[in-house]
Amino acid sequence: MAGILVYALHDDEGNFNKNSLGAISEAAKLSGEIGGDAAALVVGDIADDACASLGNYGAAKVYRAKSVPEGLAQPIVDAMAKVIQDEGISYALFGGGLLGFEIGAGLTARLNAGVTMEVTEVKVQDGKLVSERPILQDSQIADVGYVSEPGIIISRLNAFDTKETGGTAEVIDVEVELSPWSTKATMVQRGEQRGADVNIEDADILVGGGRGLGAAEGFKLAEELAESMGGAVAATRAVVDAGWYPYAAQIGQTGKTVAPKLYLAAGVSGAIQHKVGMQNSENILAINKDPNAPIFEFSDLGVVGDLHKIVPKLTEAIKAKKGG
Amino acid sequence: MKICVLVKEVPDAAVQKRIDPNTMRLDRGGEKNLNPFDTHALEAAMQIKEGGAIPVEEVVAVTMGPGSAVRALHKAVALGADRSVHLSDDALAGSDVCATGYSLAKVLESESPDLVLLGQQSDDGECYTIGAVVADHLRMPSLTQVIKIDVNDGKLRCERQAEYGYDTVEVELPAVISVGDAINEPRYPSLKAIMGAKKKPLDTKATGDVGIDGGMVGEAGSKTAVLALNPPPAKEAGEIIEDEDTNETVEKIVAWLDERKLI
Ligand SMILES: Cc1cc2nc3c(=O)[nH]c(=O)nc-3n(C[C@H](O)[C@H](O)[C@H](O)COP(=O)(O)OP(=O)(O)OC[C@H]3O[C@@H](n4cnc5c(N)ncnc54)[C@H](O)[C@@H]3O)c2cc1C
Ligand SMILES: Cc1cc2nc3c(=O)[nH]c(=O)nc-3n(C[C@H](O)[C@H](O)[C@H](O)COP(=O)(O)OP(=O)(O)OC[C@H]3O[C@@H](n4cnc5c(N)ncnc54)[C@H](O)[C@@H]3O)c2cc1C
């Protein structure tokens, strides 16, 4: 067996996901060390040149399953399992996100294969891949190896940088027979944008609001604070799921990745899936009433206290300072 | 229909979790609790049962774990499950996701559920994957991280957030659904339910009872191996302010921001 297969996720317009492209570049690097090709799997009717362009990120081959729909995991499990078995591929690699977890898990069952997740780095030991997987709230990093092939690697958001090398990939069409249970879930609507279309990616200063704001109305505090500093307001998935704030403002694994000059987190616990979207901020300031909140593990200034007491006074003080 | 809910016993949130360097497994000493995400799965089962859009004859809590895991089942029953099943066998110790998913699918198979509900993640392993592994073994459709379930014409209409926004997906039964914590606010068990929990039927099963191939489970049957444990890269600890006098706290924050030319 040889080679690494990457799932190349795309949106409804056919744009490939940046994390998938990073995973292709990583696969190209790793297959250079363990032998075999870096290949990508694309589902849906994506044009030849778009598929071939994945060669620019290091894919030697692109398997295209035209009849398989994008967006739900199980049909893609059918496609990947077929390619892995037919071509004798050694590893499947997924960029960070959500669908990769479901497809990777499905392959684990289908191929009786080992799986690692939240992987931040992959290294080669004795010609085999070993995943570096942070565990227990990132307090330790486990090196996890595979006792047999294939092995499934689901990486953490932004784990791998894209590397453009030039080149085009060979495009190979594959016919996939879907499993009966793979057609029993159907997409009614994909990628609905809930709430206003706000822009948080260009802001130098972001105030991130979490469940600690208490209610949708609590976001007023975050907005006033952001306004006093000329910044914008961002949010966690918990508050977006609750309908308190727009999805466009969400940071993290299934939201945006940002790196502002200041990220001020108010009532945000600092879950890994949030951290991966903002950990490269230049300065991180967190206000949280729980001294054990994980966010304090990666903030530059941590304030332990009730945000409802602190934030209004902070807004006033900043306004006063700017005015004076 | 019959709903099975997967529940897991995990170290209590207050316990500092650690890996035993000798076994490379989680040290499971100290206070334990029902995985908080699984209480949302139980609540979702109860709401489907009480909602009446589809008749639910039975809600069955299912766990795989050592003897102590019966407490997770008692909690699940106190939260509304009608009975519970405990898969317990020394042969299962040290199972990875591949082996755990296979074992859970086998015990579920013996129950023939119309719907399997589970939490989006466990508080200890945080692997996020068991639902999709179980589903493929059971040959059922599945969806994870679901925050809304409506039952319509014997089908489920589910919503969840994925990479590009919210997806609405229609899923036929039988199915496996993992739920996110935004799906509901779990109820508190009544004192009566807590007292009565130990009287509800509890089946204990060994691997042989549900046809589990011993070669595919436990540490020996697992497909991953922890080779080493390392500390994360050292990071300079941030400054911490305890808010005692809020005016003073605010002064300190403003000074910190000012020093870094952020205001
Ligand atoms: C596959 C997957 C993808 C995910 N994607 C994302 C994502 O893209 N983005 C994301 O953010 N999350 C994501 N999550 C969810 C993530 O795991 C957390 O659940 C979420 O980030 C928690 O949001 P929160 O911090 O607002 O809420 P909580 O975790 O509930 O934290 C609230 C915090 O507020 C504090 N607090 C409460 N009251 C006060 C007060 N008065 N004053 C000060 N502090 C207070 C509490 O101490 C607590 O720490 C994802 C999860 C999964 C499994
Ligand atoms: C720190 C740590 C890291 C680990 N990393 C890996 C790894 O990288 N790869 C790997 O293959 N294994 C790993 N494992 C082992 C893995 O956690 C176990 O196999 C575990 O039983 C399943 O994973 P989970 O609970 O994290 O699953 P998740 O997918 O996070 O759990 C989701 C849901 O599945 C249900 N569930 C999970 N386990 C059970 C159970 N025993 N009984 C009933 N319901 C259950 C619960 O409803 C739970 O909410 C790790 C374990 C630990 C402690």
In chain B, which residue's Cα lies nearest the Cα of A204? B262
A254 token code pair: 């299934």
Specify if B262 maps to a domain. Answer: no
Specify if B70 maps to a domain. Answer: yes
Element (H, E) at B100: helix B97-109
Task: Check whether B152 has a pLDDT greater than 90.
Answer: yes
Buried b (16+ CB within 10 A) or exposed e, A191-227: beebeeebebeebebbbbbbbbbeeeebbebbbbbbe
Task: Check whether A261 has a pLDDT greater than 90.
Answer: yes
CA distance A83 to A99: 18
CA distance A124 to A232: 42
The pLDDT of residue A266 is: 98
Determine what percent of chain B is predicted with pLDDT higher than 70: 100
Q: pLDDT for A167-205, tens place per residue?
A: 999 999 999 999 999 999 999 999 999 999 999 999 999
Specify if B34 maps to a domain. Answer: yes
Specify if B253 maps to a domain. Answer: no
The pLDDT of residue B13 is: 86
Mean pLDDT value of segment A240-251: 98
Mean pLDDT value of segment B56-84: 97
β-pairing, A91-94 vs A151-155, is parallel
Mean pLDDT value of segment B12-39: 91
Determine what percent of chain A is predicted with pLDDT higher than 70: 100
Contact (CB, 8 A) for B224 and A116: yes
Instruction: Report the candidate in A114, A255, A54, A264 with the shortest Cα–Cα distance to residue B263.
Output: A264
Mean pLDDT value of segment A266-290: 98
Q: What is the mean pLDDT of chain A?
A: 97
Contacts with A109 from chain B: Cβ below 8 Å: 98, 101-102, 105, 132-137
Hey, is B60 helix, strand or coil?
strand
Mean pLDDT value of segment A238-255: 97
Contacts with B170 from chain A: Cβ below 8 Å: 185-186, 188
ipTM of model:
0.97
A203 Cα distance to chain centroid: 21
Three-state SS letters, A271-308? CHHHHCCCCCCCEEEEEECCCCCHHHHHCCEEEECCHH
Task: Check whether A19 has a pLDDT greater than 70.
Answer: yes
The pLDDT of residue A243 is: 96
CA distance B121 to B109: 22
CATH number of the domain bearing residue B166: 3.40.50.620
In chain B, which residue's Cα lies nearest the Cα of A261? B262
pLDDT band at B133 (very low <50, low <70, confident <90, very high): very high
Specify if B151 maps to a domain. Answer: yes
Query: Which backbone phi and psi does B116 adopt, to 5 degrees?
Result: -115, 125
Mean pLDDT value of segment A42-68: 98
CA dihedral of A33, A36, A41, A47, whole degrees rounded to 10 = 100
Task: Looking at the CA of residue B62, tell me the nearest atom of ligand 2.
Answer: 43
> What total of structural domains would you count in chain B?
1
CA distances from A25 to A18, A121, A161, A202, A277 (A): 11, 13, 7, 27, 20
Residue B204: which domain range?
2-221
Expressed in angstroms, the distance from the first to the final Cα of chain A is 70
The pLDDT of residue B237 is: 83
Rounded to the nearest angstrom, the distance between the alpha carbon of B240 and the centre of ligand 1 is 20
Tokens 């109820």 label which residue? B187
Nearest to A105 among B132, B162, B241 (CB): B132
pLDDT band at A323 (very low <50, low <70, confident <90, very high): confident
Specify if B133 maps to a domain. Answer: yes
Mean pLDDT value of segment A214-231: 98
The pLDDT of residue B143 is: 98
Specify if B236 maps to a domain. Answer: no
The pLDDT of residue A324 is: 67
Contacts with B154 from chain A: Cβ below 8 Å: none
Specify if B249 maps to a domain. Answer: no
The domains located in chain A, with CATH, are 4-183 (3.40.50.620), 205-323 (3.40.50.1220)
The pLDDT of residue B30 is: 87
